[in-house]
Each structure stands twice: as structure tokens, then as C-alpha cells.
Amino acid sequence: MEEEKVEGGVEALEKEKATLLERLKEADRRYRYKVYEAKALSEMLDKKKKEGTLPLTRELRKRIQRLEFIISTEARTLQQERELVKEVRDLEKKLKASIELERMERRLHLINDDIKAAEKQVIEFEKKMDDMRKELQEKRNASSKSKKEKKLLDLKEKVNEERQREREPFMKKSVDGRVDLGEICVIKKKEK
């Protein structure tokens, strides 16, 4: 009965270990994907930064607003207004590129946070897996010990039965359950 409990416990642990292993594999896949994604994104980011340094998005927006304000409020010649509009368009293109660059940086930061979280999860699952392996090993050892102990007890029982069978012919009991002295020892008669 105890063996069935131990075997059932081992089987349950094996199933739990299998599900944990699947979760570990999934977390590891997610971790590897995030690392790959971060690497690709950082390469793209470095490439964009090397193309040219862009001013901050805030500064570009302020300059665009200032130029639009000048265009709408001040009286300028048509040629001067066209140059200002052209400058606003150039600044808007730079603004788009700057916004895209900032989004990429933000995304890279978020991906790095995801990588850290996935790394922690993988480490946590690996610790659980190690603990589960140790527990399984202990249960298997206990199971094998209990089997050995049972075999040993069976062997002792058989030896005791054999000894009892060997002693039986010498231990004849009378009807009331008593043993005669002559059956236990040899009585010698004294000669005169």
C-alpha cells in the first residue's frame, strides 16, 4: 500500500515536472526571441544614429511652432514665406525621423525590460525544476529502500519459518499444550 502511494506520488511529480518543463521551454523561447529582437532593433537604432544626429523632438516642435507663428502673424514677401514653409516641411521630416528614433529607443528599453523579466522567469523555472528533480530522486530512493526492506523482511520471515520447521519434530506437545522433559533433553539413567 505504501509502495502504491510512493509510486502514485512519483507519477504525479513526473507529470508536474513535464508541465514545468514545457513552461520552461516556452519561457526560454520567449527569452531568446526577445534577445534576438533587441539585437536587431539596436542595430537599426545604431544605423539611424550614424546617418545623422537629430535634435530632440521637443526642440523641433518648438521651432516648427515658432516658424508657423511667424508665417501666420508677420507680413513677409511671398519668397520669404515660401522659404519659411519649406523650412517647416524640412523640420517636419526631421520631426518624423526623430519621433521614429525615440519610439525605437523606447521599444528597445521595453524589450530589455521584457528580457530581464523572462530571464528571471527562466531562472525561477530552473530552480523549481532542480527542486523537483531532487524530490523525485528522494522519492525514488525511498521507494527502492522500502522495496529492499520488504525483501529483507520476507527473507527473515522465510528463515524463521524454516527454523520453526526444523525445531517442530523435537517439540512435540501433549494434548494440553505442555512439553515433556524427555522431549527437550536426553535423560540418562544412573547405573548402580
Instruction: Report the distance separating Cα 90 and Cα 77, nearest Å.
Output: 20
pLDDT at 73: 87
- Please indicate, yes or no, if residue 7 is contained in any of the structural domains: yes
pTM above threshold 0.85: no
pLDDT at 3: 55
Domain that holds residue 37: 2-184
Spacing of C-alpha 33 from chain mean position: 17
Whole-number percent of the chain with pLDDT over 90: 11
- Please indicate, yes or no, if residue 148 is contained in any of the structural domains: yes
Contacting residues for 68 by C-beta, under 8 A, at least 6 apart: 88
Instruction: Report the distance separating Cα 24 and Cα 128, nearest Å.
Output: 10
Whole-number percent of the chain with pLDDT over 70: 84
- Please indicate, yes or no, if residue 140 is contained in any of the structural domains: yes
- Specify which residues 173 forms β-bridges with: 179
- Please indicate, yes or no, if residue 191 is contained in any of the structural domains: no
- Please indicate, yes or no, if residue 45 is contained in any of the structural domains: yes
Instruction: For cell 524589450, name the residue.
Output: 111
Q: What is the pLDDT of residues 51-107, one digit of tens each?
A: 777 778 889 899 989 988 888 888 888 898 889 889 999 999 988 888 888 888 899
Neighbours of 16 (CB within 10 A): 14
Instruction: Report the distance separating Cα 39 and Cα 47, nearest Å.
Output: 12
State the chain's mean pLDDT as an integer: 82
**Which H or E element spans position 181?**
helix 181-184
- Please indicate, yes or no, if residue 189 is contained in any of the structural domains: no
In this structure, are residues 161 and 25 in contact, taking their beta carbons and an 8 Å threshold?
Answer: no
Contacting residues for 104 by C-beta, under 8 A, at least 6 apart: 41, 44, 45, 48
- Please indicate, yes or no, if residue 192 is contained in any of the structural domains: no
Structural domains in the chain (count): 1
Average pLDDT over residues 12-32: 86
Residue 161 identity: E
- Please indicate, yes or no, if residue 86 is contained in any of the structural domains: yes
List the grid coordinates of 72.
501666420
Per-residue confidence band for 1, with pLDDT thresholds at 50, 70 and 90: very low
